[in-house]
Structure 1
Amino acid sequence: MVGETALAAGLALLTGSAEYLTGEGLLRTLLFALAIAVLSLVRRTLPATVLIAAGALDAATSGGLLLIVAAWSAGRRIKGVLRASAAFTASFVAFEAINLVENRSAVAIAFSVLLFLVMAVVPGITGRYWSQRRALMRTLHERNAQLLRERQMIARQARMRERQRIAQDMHDSLGHQLALIAVQTGALEVSRGLSEQQREAVGVLREASVAAMHELRAVVGVLKDGTVDDGAVEEARAESGVVAGIDGLVESAAAAGTDVRLVRSGEPRPLGAPADHAAYRIVQEGLTNAFKHASGARIAVGLYYEADSLVVEVVNGPVPKGGAAGTAAVSGGQGLTGLRERARLAGGMVRSGPVEDGGFRLAGVLPYGAGPGTTLVGAGDDLRQQPPATAPGDGQRVGDEPVIDPLDPREEFKNIMSVRRSRGCLVGCGVGLLILAGLAVLAVLGVGKLFDEMKKASIDPGVYRSITVGTSEDAVRKKLPSGESFLTSGVKGKGPAEPAGAQCLSLLSTDSPDDIDRDRVYRFCFKGGKLIEKREFVVRND
């Protein structure tokens, strides 16, 4: 609203100033200024009406800027080529009709046609091109968004089918094997031929197989439809929770004869589901690796509740003398990689490596909640290789930058639109340069034509004073221009009465009065082949 009001006021002020400087009355100036301000304000609502009225007003006034603005709006807002053509034609007729009333010479008509093309047709075509380009880009945006949604749906369906296939394979293979292990260890546990220590070890194996079956059920439920079976959650809760689950892991390891202890510090605080599950898996993987690679070594499991995160670590000592340090169990080599990804998705990180005494340490840092400032992922753990954070002093803190996913469809569409936008800008700049070049050529031609017309219509005051009455007509005309110009059409018939039977030639003076609304005229009248009269007078411009 502020911009439209300022534009209307500026157009009214320019037009009113031009009218007042040309000597028009104050009432006429105010009326024209008010009309132009009103038309500028309603040009968005009534584009065709304002265009036609602007053509008539700009022809009748000395402003001319309203027609440019109205043509731009009409080109953008008039729907349909026929309606737009009719509106511009009506505006042209109104523009030419007013000009013909004031000046009917062929040169003036040609100049007014060229002026209308520059002031109305060019802005109108440019505005229409801009509007159609925006409509095209909006349609492309909607179409691309629809294609991206369809692609996401197809990808989700493909992932769901693959997950269901994997879940079915896991259920058919691992489920059968775990059930068999549970049944066999249960039968072996009640055998009379086992010692008490052997029976206790078999019981640990049976409990582990039953817990593995519960976890398998939960994982299969997630793979099938993305939800976890409530019964499986309740059965596996003891194994998946940070407190109860890790306690169970440590107790199972101790029952199997391993020297393992659990250390806690700090006030326990709840974690989110991803961090909770990641903590349990870190302890589970650390104990498993210690069993496989450092059998018989002492193991310490630590849960340290810090101010902003939970630190989980599993540290095993060196392999004792006579202990096994090989890798007898089957290993896929993907445990630590999976842990790092789990911790990254939970906003934390995992580190592992040997310690000074020859043992090995696996530790994870997991934030209590998700949100800004809690992400602890380092650059080395960033699997998607995000760009480096802004250095301090650039106006924002390190880590405040938005993370951009290269696989995000919105980012992909942004890249596509940036390319199309650059191409559209190039095309638009090319069209604009062509229009400017054409206008420059027309301006040069118009200036040259104007100088030619001035040579035909004006003389220097010294030439006027050098001519004396009584000189032959041929001698006088050799010193004077022809006077056949649209610039002299407005002064013919004005001034003092012409001598009876004489043929008069009216020319403009190159030395005009101070008033820009008046012209100095030199008139030469011939009769009988001689100059019988020369007159100098001032006329008013109409």
Structure 2
Amino acid sequence: MDVTARAGDLWRQLAEPSQWSRRRVVGESALTAVLGFVTAAAEYLGGHNGLRIGLVTLAAVVCSLARRALPVPALVAAGALSGYAGGGALLITVVGWSAGRRIDGVLRASTAFGACFGLYTVLSLWPWPQRSVVPFVFGTVLFLVLAVFPALAARYWTQRRTLLRTLQELNVQLLRERRMVAGQARMRERQRIAQDMHDSLGHQLTLISVHTGALEVDPQLTGRQREVAAVLRAASMTAMRELRAVVGVLGDDTAQGAEASQGLAGVKSLVESAAATGTPVSFTQSGTVRALAPAAGHAGYRVAQEGLTNAYKHAPGAPITVSLYYEPDSLVVEVVNAPPPETSGEIREVVSGGQGLSGLRERARLASGMVHAGRSTDGGFRLAGVFPYESATSPADAPGAPAAFDSGGDDFGWQHDAAASGEGGPVIDRLDPLEEFKSIMGARKGNGLLVGCGIAALLLAAVAVVCLIGVLSLGREADGVAVGPRDYAAVTVGDSEAQVRQRLPARQSAFTPGLRDRVPAAPAGASCLVFGSGPVWDGSATETVYRFCFMDGKLAAKQTFRVPR
């Protein structure tokens, strides 16, 4: 059953269309083309035949495409291919990076990279050089640079991205919980204010309504006085209704309370009430009536109410005009009053403390509108509000909403993941510290950041030791490369092999086989030693090579060759 499930998962990773987005198809195609071209070019420059070039290129392409679904086999195959073919250096770097991201567990990763290193070393150094560790040392350093270091860098990069993503999730969670706490505190405060308003203002408005009702039927009052008393009683009753609506809004903390409040339909009633008191007020309306959101309609009503109130207080007796303009894209609510007659064109400060206009501006902002207040050209005052017909933006688009972030899903890029930070996500009331630590350091045992850092430190120490051994071995090998002109002249043909060997370096160097390939073939039946003349890097295009051939225990020939470097 497990084998079947794994086979199904593997098939989905390799062939399911949802796993191959357009971005991934383009990236994989470009990367595979580059790896195939580099491998084929290296094999071609190496002088290999067409069959080998095709097979090696095909193997590189398969390793590149399978490195995500099969990281361990792809890594081992890339190591073998890089050791066998000289053009696999870039391939093993790319596959090593991908394997560092996807191979879980220290033991599994160590085994995979150990097998990769073994195949890489055996195939790259075959046939094995005798009595020399320099090729092995340099091969080890090269493998660390090409495969291990990219894997460690990819592991660090992945864990850093995981840590960042976890911190972002925790930040979104904390912001959501903070909004919940703030909302609960605001709800309690609103309920307290609503209770106070109901207990204090409600009682006073009830008394006003009762007394004005009594005055309205008092036979000692004139007709005009009864009209004024009726207006006061109607105003107190309207104030009671609005108070109940406001108390409902404060108590419920929902947008439904705005629907119970006065909307634009109440603007005409405001004008009629003001006209009944003898105030010279007029009402105009233009354009096609269109529906507004409840919050915008209520804000427009408050603009008209505040404008009339300010005109009563600061310009008594001045003509007032209340207008509703239904423009193609928005509604304009405007209240304009002329200068008061006693000031001859001068007007006092409209707002004392600015609380009324500040509240209007905030209410208009919440309804996606705006408020303008200022003097008119004739010395009066103008208060206007502009409100859109459409509803306000959604909470997800509102300023301050947490932005979505990316989560890693690709070797070298990020895939957008908006659902991770959306407002509709679950709210966790309590975070377990142990689970939080596991989510940051890695969900699987032995796969955390601390373990990765320890392994990286050990590998760096191993690299330092290997480099030191390599330097010492290189110095030792250098002693077996060069023969000076004096040593060459000091031996003569016919000397015994033992005497000649005493004057020459004690052993052959690992670089000697390269010199042998650049000189003519040795005489039949002779045993020859080949040495360079040093210095090795003197800037010239050629170098001098000495060859000493022995036969029957004596020096049979000594020769000098000038060979290209």
Work out whether 1:71 is the aligned partner of 2:96.
Answer: yes
Letter in 1 for 2:107: L
Structure 1 residues 48-57 or 120-129, which shifts more? 48-57
1:201 aligns with 2:228: yes
Change (3 A) 1:162 1:459: same
Distance in 2 (CA, whole Å) between partners of 1:59 and 1:198 is: 110
Distance, in Å, in 2 between the alignment partners of 1:458 and 1:31 is 41
Q: What's 2:70 paired with? A: 46
The AA in structure 1 aligned to 2:112 is A
Summarize deviations over 1:111-138 as a string: whole Å, max 9, x none.
Answer: 2222222222211211111121122122
The alignment of Structure 1 onto Structure 2 pairs a total of residues equal to: 470
TM-score, with structure 1 as normaliser: 0.72
CA deviations 1:294-337 (Å, max 9, x no partner) are: 322322223333343333332333333599x999xx97752122
Take 1:404 and 1:459, find their aligned partners in 2: how far apart are those partners? Answer: 82
Partner of 1:289: 310
Alpha-carbon offset, residue 141 of structure 1: 1.7
1:525 aligns with 2:546: no
SS at 1:199 equivalent:
helix
Matched residue type, 1:187? A
The answer to whether the Cα contact below 8 Å between 2:292 and 2:391 also exists between their aligned partners in 1 is no
Work out whether 1:56 is the aligned partner of 2:90: no
**Deviation (angstroms), 1:84:** 0.7
The answer (yes or no) to whether the contact 2:259–2:295 under 8 Å persists in 1 is: no
Residue in structure 2 matched with residue 486 of structure 1 by the alignment: 510
The change in CA–CA distance for 1:117 and 1:267 in structure 2 (over 3 A counts) is closer
2:163 alignment counterpart: 136
Query: 1:111 maps to what in 2?
Result: 138
Give the alignment partner of residue 263 of structure 2, picking from 231, 241, 253. Answer: 241
Partner residue, 1:92? 117
Task: Give runs of aligned pairs for residues 341-356 of structure 1, distance below 5 A.
Answer: 341-355=362-376
What do residues 85-106 of structure 1 show as CA deviations (whole Å, max 9, x unaligned)?
1111222222233345412332
Aligned partners of 1:483 and 1:507 also within 8 Å: no
For 2:219, the equivalent position in structure 1 comes to: 192
C-alpha deviations, 1:189-220, integer Å up to 9, x for none? 22222211111111111111111111111111
Quick one: which of 30, 36, 58 aligns to 2:60?
36
> Structure 2 vs 1, CA of residues 129 and 460 (structure 1 numbering), >3 Å: closer, same or farther?
same
Per-residue CA deviations over 1:395-442 (Å, capped at 9, x if unaligned) read: xxxxxxx9984x5554999xxxxxxxxxxxxxxxxxx9xx99x99999
The 2-side partners of 1:101 and 1:360 are apart by 97
Q: CA deviation at 1:52?
A: 1.8
1:531–1:128: structure 2 CA closer, same or farther, 3 Å change rule?
A: same
Unmatched segments (≥5 aa) in structure 1: 373-401, 414-431, 511-518, 538-542
The two structures, once aligned, show a CA RMSD in angstroms of 4.6
Whole-angstrom CA distance in 2 between matches of 1:304 and 1:321: 31
CA contact (8 A) 1:404 1:411 kept: no
Q: How far off its partner does 1:79 sit?
A: 0.6
Aligned-pair identity in percent equals 55
Name the residue aligned to 1:338.
359
User: Residues of 2 paired with 1:32 and 1:318: CA distance?
Assistant: 94
User: In structure 2, which of residues 384, 388, 396 is the aligned counterpart of residue 367 of structure 1?
Assistant: 388
Normalised by the length of structure 2, the TM-score is 0.70
C-alpha distance in 2, partners of 1:345/1:337?
Answer: 13
Which residues of structure 2 form unaligned runs of 5+? Answer: 1-24, 407-455, 535-542
Deviation (angstroms), 1:495: 4.8
- How many angstroms does 1:446 deviate by? 7.7
Q: CA deviation at 1:82?
A: 1.6
SS at match of 1:102: coil
Q: 2-side partners of 1:411 and 1:28: how far apart?
A: 50
Q: Quick one: structure 1 residues 445 and 93, their matched pair in 2 at CA, closer, same or farther if it must change by over 3 Å?
A: closer
Whether the aligned pair in 2 keeps the contact of 1:219 and 1:228 (CA below 8 Å) is no
Residue of structure 2 aligned with 1:83, choices 108, 120, 129 = 108
Cα distance in structure 2, aligned partners of 1:23 and 1:455: 33
Cα offset, 1:476, TM superposition = 7.3
**Residue in structure 2 matching 1:275, options 283, 293, 296:** 296
SS at match of 2:225: helix
Q: Structure 1's 326 and 67: CA in aligned 2 closer, same or farther, altered over 3 A?
A: closer
Tell me, yes or no, if the aligned pair for 1:347 and 1:367 is still in contact at 8 Å: yes
Instruction: Report SS of the residue matched to 1:253.
Output: helix
Query: Cα gap change, 1:490/1:336 in structure 2, threshold over 3 Å: closer, same or farther?
Result: closer
Q: Which amino acid letter does the alignment assign opposite residue 47 of structure 1?
A: P
Instruction: Report the counterpart of residue 40 of structure 2 in structure 1.
Output: 16
Q: Partners in 2 of 1:228 and 1:151 — Cα distance?
A: 21
Report the 3-state secondary structure (helix = DSSP H, G, I; strand = E; otherwise coil) of the residue aligned with 2:159: helix
Within the candidate set 321, 338, 344, 1:317 is matched to 338
- Does the CA-based 8 Å contact 1:473-1:529 persist in structure 2? yes
Contact 1:221 1:227 in 2 (8 A): no
What is the CA distance between 1:75 and its match in structure 2? 0.9
> How many Å apart are 1:83 and its aligned residue?
1.0
DSSP-derived class of the 2:512 partner: coil
Q: Is the 8 A contact 2:64 2:95 kept in 1?
A: yes
SS of residue paired to 2:86: coil
Q: How far 1:355 sits from its partner (Å)? A: 4.1
